[in-house]
Amino acid sequence: MTIAAGRHTHLAAQRAHLAALPSPPEHVVVAMGDPQVAGVVGAVPGVHVVEVPAAPGHLPLALARNTGVEQALELGADLVVLLDVDCLPGRGLIDAYTRAAGRLEHALLCGPVTYLPAEAGSPAPGELQRWTSPHPARPAPRDGRLERGGDHRLFWSLSFACTPATWRRLGGFCTDYDGYGGEDTDLGMVASREAVELVWVGGAHAYHQHHPVSSPPVEHLDDILRNAATYHRRWGEWPMEGWLRAFAERGLVTYDGTAWRRTTPAGVPPGVPAAIPEEMAR
């Protein structure tokens, strides 16, 4: 299951790699306010496009993921794999997740992710393996191995899998999060609360296609402030602290002990507050 808005070149590459797998899976693609997604995917058997409304520049990530998974379950999925639109599946990704799900009754399964360098371009399916270099901030067990008892705060949503029973136990992504940031960390915390183990799956390799990024992601400043407050309200601690501190170092936000506040209200999009109200930060 993939959510998409724009990133058409990435989506087309992902589709080519999924089609090249030994047993291509059913694929649900959720178009977030992007009617062109259906044309990029094309009328392919086993590929299902679902549309979710989205305002320009504003992506309902949590809602879109929930919608896509529910569609997959309605289609009879016995395992749901979520893969971000800019990620390519390794040849063994589906099989590794499937084997892991068969061994564990309830688990949130995550695989290693390689961030492809710019010179890799968009490798053909047969060329992916030579670029394998998993991100060092996450565990990367050897192929066929499982690393159990993972830190739930390290959960990331760009590549993960779970059974329908586990999905229902977790209840999906919290739709209190609106826009970019926080919803995946929240799901990891829900998994911890519900005693759903986080397991790192060797061999379930995904490859993140290169594209320019900003660090910290200043284009998502308001989303991050709003969603950080939602997370704090739910869990009593601040997420994305590295980004919040980086924003503060650039003079974009300040923390007064009760709330992270934007210091430059000019240019705030309509309907987005310039600060997190204190009552939301409690």
Mean pLDDT within 245-270: 81
What confidence score (pLDDT) does residue 214 get? 83
- 278 pLDDT more than 70: no
Mean pLDDT within 192-219: 94
Mean pLDDT within 54-58: 83
Q: CA of 233: how far to CAs of 21, 39, 119, 202, 239, in Å?
A: 42, 40, 42, 35, 11
Helices (H), 20-104: 37-41, 61-74, 93-103
Instruction: Of 74-83, 197-206, 261-270, give the lowest mean pLDDT range.
Output: 261-270
Nearest to 207 by CA among 127, 99, 108: 127
- 153 pLDDT more than 50: yes
What b/e readout covers 34-56, taking b as 16+ CB neighbours within 10 angstroms? beebeebbeeeeebbbbbbebee
- 233 pLDDT more than 80: yes
Mean pLDDT within 149-159: 95
| C-alpha–C-alpha distance, residues 274 and 191, integer Å | 32
What confidence score (pLDDT) does residue 56 get? 80
Mean pLDDT within 252-272: 73
| C-alpha–C-alpha distance, residues 152 and 139, integer Å | 12
Mean pLDDT within 106-113: 97
Mean pLDDT within 109-128: 95
Mean pLDDT within 64-72: 98
Mean pLDDT within 79-96: 97
DSSP symbols for 144-193? T-EE-S--GGG--SSEEEE-HHHHHHHTSS-TT--SSSSHHHHHHHHHHH
* Pairing between β-strand 113-115 and β-strand 206-208 as defined by DSSP bridges: parallel
Under the banding of pLDDT at 50, 70 and 90, the label for residue 215 is: confident
Six token digits for residue 63: 């809602």
User: Do the beta carbons of residue 49 and residue 15 sit within 8 Å?
Assistant: no
- 249 pLDDT more than 90: yes
Task: Provide the mean pLDDT of the chain.
Answer: 91
Mean pLDDT within 162-169: 98
Under the banding of pLDDT at 50, 70 and 90, the label for residue 282 is: very low
Under the banding of pLDDT at 50, 70 and 90, the label for residue 280 is: very low
What confidence score (pLDDT) does residue 270 get? 29
- 279 pLDDT more than 80: no
Six token digits for residue 232: 């704090």
Residue 274 has a CB neighbour count (10 Å cut-off) of 14
- 47 pLDDT more than 50: yes
**Long-range contact list for 262-267, CB < 8 A, 24+ apart?**
262/221, 262/222, 262/225
Mean pLDDT within 54-70: 92
Residue 52: strand pairing partners:
32
* Pairing between β-strand 87-89 and β-strand 206-208 as defined by DSSP bridges: antiparallel
- 109 pLDDT more than 60: yes
Under the banding of pLDDT at 50, 70 and 90, the label for residue 265 is: low
User: Do the beta carbons of residue 186 and residue 91 sit within 8 Å?
Assistant: no
| C-alpha–C-alpha distance, residues 228 and 182, integer Å | 6
Under the banding of pLDDT at 50, 70 and 90, the label for residue 176 is: very high
* Pairing between β-strand 197-201 and β-strand 206-208 as defined by DSSP bridges: unpaired
